[in-house]
Structure 1
Amino acid sequence: MTTIYLAEDQEMLNSALTTILNLEDSFEVVGSGLDGETALAEIIRCKPDLAVLDIEMPKMTGLEIAQQLRILKIPTKLIILTTFAREGYFQQALANQVNGYLLKDSPSEELIESIYRVLRGETVFSPDLVRSVLSAEKNPLTNREMEILFSIHSGASTAEIAKQVFLSEGTVRNYISSILSKTGTRTRIEAINVAKKNGWLA
């Protein structure tokens, strides 16, 4: 039996998806959360085989949950399910090693098939999302730079980031200098604002 956790802040959709997934004989939804902090705590506690995460939720986004789970080395496979086909969100998802990224308007059959594919070790991205990303203005930051900028956005200090990504503080500062240069900004806050404006950060 595959255990699944569902994080979705729209209560009606949360309930509907829980029902749909539980109809599969080999799936068991072991929990669902309406906000990010609750979802993260429960995923850490029950360590499901797979979690389906919405991006925009109260208290913590699905991308922030993914980042924390990867830092903690929780082996749960992750599928992002969202209405947003933004290039920046997609880059963050890649940086946090999600296993799937699907749009909410996809048929439920596609979600179920994607879950089976992810459980087999595949990585699944919505074709509509990929087309949207390819046509969008490109983010100049590397995956590592996005990971560091995401940590800055989460409130982490240079020392804390260094521990999270297993680099020296000096190397992290070099990455931050590169981020400021590429975004044409002078401060971390300005860089975050530019990234938000362009959809690179939630």
Structure 2
Amino acid sequence: MIRILLADDQALVRGAMAALLGLEPDIDVVAEVGRGDEVLAAARDVAPHVCLLDIEMPGRDGIDVTSELRREIPDTRVLVVTTFGRAGYLRRALDAGASGFVVKDTSAKELAEAVRRIHSGLRVIDPALASESLADGPDPLTERERDILRIALTGATVSAIAREVNLSAGTVRNYLSSAIGKTGAGTRVEAARTAQARGWI
């Protein structure tokens, strides 16, 4: 049996996936959690072969959790299953160590097959997203630029951003200027929204 851990903050979606996968004769859903910061402890308890992770969850996002799982429990493989089919998310998930990336409108049959393929050591990637990712090219932002743009999304002033990241206002302006240039945006909020839409933040 392929042992599965499901992590999704939407109880209805999580329950539906568990029910559908539970119908498969070779798949056993051994745990379900609704927060990203609950995944590692649950995985240690139940030793799943495959974790199905959403990206946007309270506590920790699925990409951070993927990195943690690959570091702490390397035998457990990760399949990201998300509503947010963005090329930037795909790249970040694969860089974090995910074995697969599919969107939630994948059929139950395709999802079960993706679990089997990942369990056998293969990789599964939504083909449309793979094409989009190749067309978009790599994420040009640095980790610090991404951090600053996440805060800029809230509409925070430069001085407020500087306080939050413990940098001078001038240094924050430099990072913002660089990020604006890389995204082709006109303002820091526009740059942040562009980066978010592409899955870079």
The answer to whether TM tops 0.5 is yes
- Asked if structure 2 preserves the Cα contact closer than 8 Å seen for 1:36 and 1:61, the reply is yes
Q: Is the 8 A contact 1:79 1:99 kept in 2?
A: yes
Q: CA RMSD in A?
A: 3.2
**1:35 is aligned to 2:29:** no
The residue correspondences of 1:62-73 to structure 2 (distance < 5 A) are: 62-73=62-73
Structure 2 residues without counterparts, runs of 5 or longer: 150-173, 180-187
Matching residue of 2:91: 91
Residue 132 of structure 2: aligned partner: 132
8 Å contact 2:91–2:133 — kept in the other structure?
no
Structure 1, residues 28-51: CA drift from partner, whole Å, max 9, x if none? Answer: 111001111122321133221111
Equivalences, count? 169
Instruction: Check if 1:8 corresponds to 2:8.
Output: yes
Supply the AA of the counterpart residue of 1:118: I
User: Percent identity over the alignment?
Assistant: 30
CA distance in 1, matches of 2:45, 2:92: 24
Match of 2:100, as an amino acid? G
**In the alignment, residue 45 of structure 2 is paired with which amino acid?**
R
The answer to whether structure 1 residue 100 and structure 2 residue 100 are counterparts is: yes
CA contact (8 A) 1:85 1:132 kept: no
Q: Which runs of 4+ in 1 moved over 6 A?
A: 148-153
CA distance in 1, matches of 2:46, 2:147: 25
Q: Is the 8 A contact 1:99 1:124 kept in 2?
A: yes
Query: Normalising to structure 1: TM-score of the pair?
Result: 0.71
**Unaligned stretches of 5+ residues in structure 1:** 154-179, 186-190
